[in-house]
DNA sequence: GTAACAATGTTACTGGTGATAACTTATGCC
DNA sequence: GGCATAAGTTATCACCAGTAACATTGTTAC
């Protein structure tokens, strides 16, 4: 593996092109959005010719898809880190973590969910990564249902509602339609709580605000 | 106004370029998404040179913004047509109409809310059109609150929750993350109802399902 | 009516992009 | 060492947004 111990020496073979391209694409995405990602510009920054990238990514969209995959994995890890000891806290926190992720990484989040630039059904790994992240949300809701904390409505319905809520709030805030967390720190909590309180099992309704 | 009575005659001046470009862009958007809109292609289809379009649209984004404006106006009209006689029916229906619009016009909806391609604060008419559409939703909620049907929580919070919910559901379904109305006809109703039931005033909770 | 002007077209061009073909060089395996 | 293959290279195509300079038409003042 040449160039590893002497990175300054110009070698014909780069040795780590895919990973470096991925990393640089992620940084460009973060700063300037997905439309700013050009294979030619990436190649020039890395110091390689543009067609070299096509040895590792079948096209531009595939590179974007790989970046989006790591985005979903990152989101999933954050969701998995939520404390699950209390059903209510877990539900609220997972919603807040979800929204926070989108607000901290708006361009990455837009890439992950911008159905136009990365359509479903084209990149299997991307679809899977998205599903895995979503699964954490669903598992948390299922757990709260099994404990009897939320109404026994169909899990798919409850999950769809929760996901729609946090995803909608995320999108609307990062696009400036609704005030961001900076301007309205408690908006996300209020919104998530509002949905949650409509989903409580009856015996939980009276003391629902004691645990928050 | 030459060429009006004899539309087949080739005239140097087109006479209706902006409107025809707008219309054609809308059709292209509907069928193939905003990324398929190219000023050159539009010009060729209309039978005019590409730079001619720049006499009427300062750049590509401005054309897209104009299309998005008409999209918001169309959405607003649909929301205004909702029957407002019953607070509950009005709230549910306005949510369903909102989601239906997105599902019937996915590419248009994506353009309207794809913050990446049309950022806020750049096209004042677009921002205004979006605000006007949103206002219909807020007014409906305010009305229901004044009648005492929903909890007296801050209007901005209630509105943010409702908008987040329908917007999130719209996005997730048109991008294939959640089943569309075709696969799950009652999903939208269930989701909207779930949020609504968490927002009812206390005296409405027992007979909340009699009016649906 | 015509001259001046503004509006709306035109061709020619620049710089940038994704993608492919054909060629070259290094790597690793036998 | 020799050779297949992986991973680079240059050359090229087709498309795109946008600008400059020029041409034509419509309108308005005189």
Using a pLDDT cut of 90, give the percent of chain A over it.
Answer: 82
Phi, psi of A40 (to 5 degrees): -65, -45
- Assess A102–B contact: CB distance below 8 Å, yes or no: no
Chain A hits for B177, Cβ within 8 Å: 113, 120, 130, 134, 163
Who among residues 20-49 of A has its Cβ near strand D, under 7 Å? 43, 48-49
What is the reported pLDDT for A203? 61
Q: 3-state DSSP call for residue B200?
A: strand
Overall average pLDDT of the A36-57 stretch: 97
- Assess A128–B contact: CB distance below 8 Å, yes or no: no
Structure token pair of residue B180: 């569309």
CA A108 to chain centre: 7
Is 50 exceeded by the pLDDT of residue A7?
A: no
Q: In the A/B pair of chains, how many CB contacts fall below 8 A?
A: 147
CA B39/CA A23 separation, integer angstroms: 33
Q: Cite the residue boundaries of each domain of chain A with CATH code 1.10.10.
A: 1-57
Using a pLDDT cut of 70, give the percent of chain A over it.
Answer: 88
Task: Provide the pLDDT confidence category of residue A193 given band limits of 50, 70 and 90.
Answer: very high
Task: Provide the pLDDT confidence category of residue A199 given band limits of 50, 70 and 90.
Answer: confident
CA A153/CA A169 separation, integer angstroms: 23
Q: Cite the residue boundaries of each domain of chain B with CATH code 1.10.357.10.
A: 60-204
Angle of helix A17-32 versus helix A60-80 axis, rounded to 10: 80
What is the reported pLDDT for B204? 63
In sequence order, the 6+-apart residues with CB closer than 8 A to the CB of B166 are A164, A168, B95, B98, B99, B137, B192
Task: Report whether CATH 1.10.10 matches the domain B13-57.
Answer: yes
Structure token pair of residue A46: 């890395």
In sequence order, the 6+-apart residues with CB closer than 8 A to the CB of A11 are A2, A3
Nearest chain B CA: its distance from A183 CA (Å): 13
CA B33 to chain centre: 15
Is 60 exceeded by the pLDDT of residue B4?
A: no
Using a pLDDT cut of 90, give the percent of chain B over it.
Answer: 82
Q: 3-state DSSP call for residue A87?
A: helix
Q: 3-state DSSP call for residue B183?
A: coil
Q: 3-state DSSP call for residue A183?
A: coil
Is 70 exceeded by the pLDDT of residue B207?
A: no
Of B88-102, B117-131, B196-210, the one with minimum mean pLDDT is B196-210
Structure token pair of residue B20: 């025809």
What is the reported pLDDT for A5? 34
Is 60 exceeded by the pLDDT of residue A6?
A: no
Instruction: Please check whether strand D approaches the CB of B40 to within 7 Å.
Output: yes
CATH match for B60-204 among 3.40.50.10420, 3.40.190.10, 1.10.357.10, 3.60.10.10: 1.10.357.10
Using a pLDDT cut of 70, give the percent of chain B over it.
Answer: 89
DSSP A85: S
For A1-57, give the CATH class. mainly alpha
Distances A14 to A55, B11, B117, B205 between C-alpha atoms, Å: 12, 58, 34, 67
Nearest chain B CA: its distance from A8 CA (Å): 37
CA A87/CA A141 separation, integer angstroms: 8
Instruction: Determine contact, residues B204/B149, Cβ cutoff 8 Å.
Output: yes
Is 80 exceeded by the pLDDT of residue B37?
A: yes
CA B83/CA B96 separation, integer angstroms: 12
Q: Cite the residue boundaries of each domain of chain A with CATH code 1.10.357.10.
A: 67-204
Cβ neighbours of A150 (radius 10 Å): 24
What is the reported pLDDT for B13? 66
Q: Cite the residue boundaries of each domain of chain B with CATH code 1.10.10.
A: 13-57
The residue of chain B with its CA nearest to that of A187 is B157
CATH match for A67-204 among 3.30.70.3450, 3.60.150.10, 1.10.357.10, 3.60.21.10: 1.10.357.10
Overall average pLDDT of the B193-202 stretch: 84
């Amino acid at each position: 593996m040449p160039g590893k111990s002497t990175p300054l020496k110009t070698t014909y073979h780069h040795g780590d092109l895919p990973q470096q391209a991925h990393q640089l694409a992620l940084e460009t995405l973060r700063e300037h959005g997905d439309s700013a990602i050009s294979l030619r510009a990436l190649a020039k920054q890395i110091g390689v010719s543009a067609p070299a990238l096509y040895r590792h990514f079948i096209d531009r969209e595939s590179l974007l898809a790989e970046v989006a995959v790591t985005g979903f994995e990152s989101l999933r890890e954050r969701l998995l880190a939520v404390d699950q000891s209390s059903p209510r806290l877990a539900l609220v926190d997972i919603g807040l973590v979800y929204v926070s992720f989108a607000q901290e990484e708006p361009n990455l989040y837009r890439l992950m969910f911008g159905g136009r630039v990365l359509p479903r059904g084209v990149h299997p790994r991307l679809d899977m990564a998205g599903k895995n992240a979503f699964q954490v949300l669903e598992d948390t809701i299922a757990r709260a249902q099994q404990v009897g904390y939320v109404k026994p409505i169909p899990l798919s319905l409850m999950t769809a509602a929760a996901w729609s809520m946090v995803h909608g709030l995320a999108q609307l805030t990062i696009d400036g339609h609704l005030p961001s967390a900076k301007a309205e720190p408690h908006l996300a909590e209020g919104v998530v709580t509002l949905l949650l309180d409509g989903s409580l099992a009856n015996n939980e309704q009276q003391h629902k605000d004691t645990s928050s």
